[in-house]
Amino acid sequence: MSNLKMKEAALIYLDRSGGLQKFIDDCKYYNDSKQSYAVYRFKILINPSDVVELDAELGNHILHQPLKAAEVFQSVCFIAVKTLSLIGQLQTETQINIVLKLTHLPPLPSYGLDLCEFPLDYTSQRFYMMQGIVIAMTTITKYTQGARFLCSDEACPLSKGFQYIRVHVPGATESATIRNDFLCNLCASSLQEDRKFRVLGDKQIVEIIATKALRAFQGYSNNQPFRFQSLTIFLRDESVNKMNIGNEYKIIGIPTCVKTSQTAVCIEANSITFCNSKVPSGISDNFRCLLSLTSSSCWKFTAILANIFASQITPPGTYNLLKLCLLMSLVQTTDRNKELEDCLDILIITSDTLLIDRYICDMNFYKY
């Protein structure tokens, strides 16, 4: 009965917020398309305050158990599709992929993610908000949004249809969606992916530092180099290319634990809000103009600087990344340690050993 009540509340909220009409329009797009789909992705905008006023239990699920809340909306949307005959090709409820996009979180301390606090809660799989400044970002790559699997035993009734649909959930790795060791629940045979129905999405990885940490060290200097602890943010689909290096953002997302050689905590971003620009006031107008003109790419600005200012220490060429590394290595942060004045530490990783020899020779030439 509790689950049925939440489904009714979800339907009422969709109707009042205009989400139901948007859902119907999205279904019309899928239904009119000549392409066959295994996964139908729908984005639903959620205002937690409005949902809590409507139904406290559904609002609590959205804030603290978002994956279960998505299942409630998935069931409601499936019933709507079948009742109103919105998508003729849709067969099973698992084909509907619901993404809940939150407008905000309650302004309470328990919803803020603070890197200064330990231990970090990355096991609850709920939404947190943090504020930080972007210091690095990658180019856009692809990830698997969803995939269709079939039983390898042709005699099994699950060797056809859309019973085995796997979609990406926040915090999951690629191997959680695509693997070759899934088994059929009916006959225990191995499952095989139907590759022509694989759905790909865009992914971008961003590193940010907490605003609180930056403000704490503002104006501090002990003439020793140091690095801020950063946090990894995963941007997917409509969130990619929404952030720029040097800008400050408020990020709502679900913290997860990534197990690599060292366990690290990252955030699967749900929504992003721009705060303000963090370009230093001491930068000249020419540099500001250059940064503005190259803001569409995370590589153009550094590439142009490397081309302009690295010509005196490296020969002309296209090795902009190496030139930039050389420039950064040559920066002298203090003049107190005379023993390190002539030292230059460089790490070069390449399969072309001739390239390394040439650069070492060139550097010795410019040094003497």
pLDDT of residue 196 exceeding 60? yes
Q: Are residues 146 and 169 in the same domain?
A: yes
Q: Are residues 117 and 239 in the same domain?
A: yes
In this structure, what CATH number is given to the domain that contains residue 47?
3.30.1640.10
The answer to which of 9-23, 76-90, 224-238 has the lowest mean pLDDT is 224-238
Which of the listed residues 252, 277, 302 is the one where a domain comes to its end?
A: 277
Which tokens go with 199? Answer: 């759905």
Taking all residues of the chain, what is their mean pLDDT, rounded to a whole number? 81
Which of the listed residues 277, 304, 327 is the one where a domain comes to its end?
A: 277
pLDDT of residue 211: 80
pLDDT of residue 317: 56
Q: What is the DSSP string of 333-353?
A: --SS-GGGTT--------S-H
pLDDT average, residue stretch 236-258:
88
Query: Is the pTM of the predicted complex or chain greater than 0.85?
Result: no
pLDDT of residue 222: 63
Q: Are residues 198 and 254 in the same domain?
A: yes
Q: Are strands 40-46 and 96-102 parallel, antiparallel or unpaired?
A: parallel
Q: Are residues 218 and 171 in the same domain?
A: yes
Q: Which residues pair with 201 in a beta bridge?
A: 143
To the nearest 10°, the Cα dihedral for 171, 175, 178, 182?
Answer: -110
Phi, psi of 125 (to 5 degrees): 55, 45
Give the three-class secondary structure for 274. Answer: strand
Which structural domain range is residue 258 located in? 106-277
pLDDT average, residue stretch 327-341:
56
Domain count within the chain: 3
Q: Are residues 11 and 94 in the same domain?
A: yes
Q: Are residues 223 and 355 in the same domain?
A: no
Instruction: Output 236 or 336, whichever has higher pLDDT.
Output: 236
Q: Are residues 223 and 316 in the same domain?
A: no
Q: Are residues 98 and 111 in the same domain?
A: no
pLDDT of residue 293 exceeding 50? yes
pLDDT of residue 213: 75
Winning range, highest mean pLDDT, from 4-18, 111-125, 262-276: 4-18
b/e sequence 242-254, b meaning 16+ C-beta within 10 Å: ebbbebbbbbbbb
Q: Are residues 256 and 301 in the same domain?
A: no
pLDDT of residue 283: 61
Q: Are residues 122 and 231 in the same domain?
A: yes
pLDDT average, residue stretch 253-262:
68
CB burial class (10 A; 0-12, 13-18, 19+) of residue 54? Answer: middle
Q: How far apart are CA 47 and CA 107, in angstroms?
A: 13
pLDDT average, residue stretch 146-170:
92
Name the nearest CA neighbour of 199 among 227, 166, 246.
166
Q: Which helix (H) or strand (E) holds 134?
A: strand 128-137
Q: How far apart are CA 133 and CA 250, in angstroms?
A: 9
Q: How far apart are CA 314 and CA 48, in angstroms?
A: 56
pLDDT average, residue stretch 110-123:
71
pLDDT of residue 193: 92
Q: Are residues 219 and 79 in the same domain?
A: no
CA distances from 135 to 155, 232, 296 (A): 55, 10, 16
Q: Are residues 95 and 139 in the same domain?
A: no
Which of the listed residues 277, 311, 341 is the one where a domain comes to its end?
A: 277
Instruction: Output 298 or 7, whichever has higher pLDDT.
Output: 7
